[in-house]
Amino acid sequence: MKKCKSIVDFIKNIYKKDFIALHEPVFVGNEKKYLNECIDSTFVSSVGKYVDKFEEMLAEYVGAKFAVAVSNGTSALFIALKTAGVKQGDEVITQPLTFVATANAISYCGAKPVFVDVDLDTLGLSPKALKEFLEKNCEIKENRCINKTTGKTIKACVPMHTFGHPCKIDEIKEICDDWHIELVEDAAESLGSFYKNKHTGTFGKVGIFSFNGNKIITAGGGGVIVTDDERLAKKAKHLTTTAKVPHPYEYYHDETGYNFRMPNINAALLVAQMENLDKFLENKRNLAKKYEEFFKSIGVEFIKEPINAKSNYWLNAIKLENKTQRDEFLECSNKNKVMTRPIWTLMNKLPMYKTCQTDSLENAEYLEERIVNIPSGVVL
């Protein structure tokens, strides 16, 4: 790609480093202080004040009534689906353009993903494609959405806010409500993103966020389930703490549970990270503005936040003209120590999901061949 050198030079001038990662974590606050306090307290596992504090901070920030901190975003989505009623033999609609964890969490429930196309402007699940798929392939029987092709119940729908850009989540919710489908939001990438002034992850019955090492705030790992439903929140906490019935000393478990609770030592990091989240978001939006102006000047399309949305710009992305140009740019930039990556391989092309039902996936196919992520970490 002829423009590669100018892009590489521009990015290196911003970060002023020899090697530039796609998204490095930044620890510039009270991380060491809180970690030391946590260690001194000896409460480094899944019990401790920082777990409770982080849940309170996160719930308040996104505008949810309840938050349940867990070990990672994948386990958060798995438990969110279980609490929404997804079970063995069900089907769950999601988008093919997503990280594999979205589809994996569905599979952990014993359910099967159904892949429906995305919108070109949001990169997320298309409400138009969703409505067309349901009208063509489904019917409502006894307040359940039945897939006429398979005879299975479509229990839930999992849209994902790609790279932190909100999808048209209000339209998706309306369609899900009409078809008796539970809306479970995969907001793993979109902490700090809003759609029509409402935080992502709070439109459906339950939503989740991730705090993996490359996310906007991180503890190396971690996830959280958010909801306004107190019963669901209690169920999620119960399941993620091995389904142990509370008791001062006896061990009694009333169902198959999971050891998914977030350790206090991770939560200590996240409390410190939350204290700087607004600064990180401001920094990332400033970076996105610089990128937008630069790429416009050289005739390359920069992926901007959609209409009605305020994005966290977690991972910045550009859209190139074709797959050949994409591959040339990936090779050139990485060879010059600027880390870039293509968008994910579509889920329906992976061996474990190749038999899943899909629609045309026209937009997802188009984007898969053209989208490239560029360095997006906070600029110190």
| 263, two tokens | 């350790």
Question: What's the rounded Cα separation, in Å, for the pair 379 and 14?
Answer: 8
Shared fold status for 4-21+277-373 and 31-275? no
| 130, two tokens | 């969703």
First to last CA, the chain: 29
Per domain, the residue ranges of the chain are: 4-21+277-373, 31-275
| 377, two tokens | 């970490």
The domain 31-275 is placed in CATH, from the list 3.30.70.2860, 3.40.630.40, 3.40.1080.20, 3.40.640.10, at 3.40.640.10
Q: Whose structure tokens read 């998914």?
A: 260
pLDDT averages per 10-residue partition of the chain, 380 residues: 92 96 97 96 92 98 98 98 98 98 98 98 98 98 97 98 98 98 98 98 97 96 98 98 94 97 97 98 98 98 98 98 97 98 98 98 98 96
Question: What's the rounded Cα separation, in Å, for the pair 42 and 2?
Answer: 56
Q: Compute the half-sphere exposure of residue 199: CA atoms within 13 Å on the CB side of its CA.
A: 22
Question: What's the rounded Cα separation, in Å, for the pair 233 and 36?
Answer: 30
Q: What is the pLDDT of residue 380?
A: 84
Question: What's the rounded Cα separation, in Å, for the pair 60 and 62?
Answer: 6
Q: Which of 373, 375, 366 has the alpha carbon at shortest distance from 121? A: 366
| Strand, helix or coil for residue 346 | coil
Residues in CB range of 349: below 8 A, 6 or more apart: none
Question: What's the rounded Cα separation, in Å, for the pair 155 and 89?
Answer: 10
Q: What is the pLDDT of residue 337?
A: 98
- Find the helix packing angle between 169-178 and 127-137, rounded to 10°: 20
Q: What is the pLDDT of residue 47?
A: 87
Could you tell me the fold of the domain covering 4-21+277-373? Answer: Aspartate Aminotransferase, domain 1 (3.90.1150)
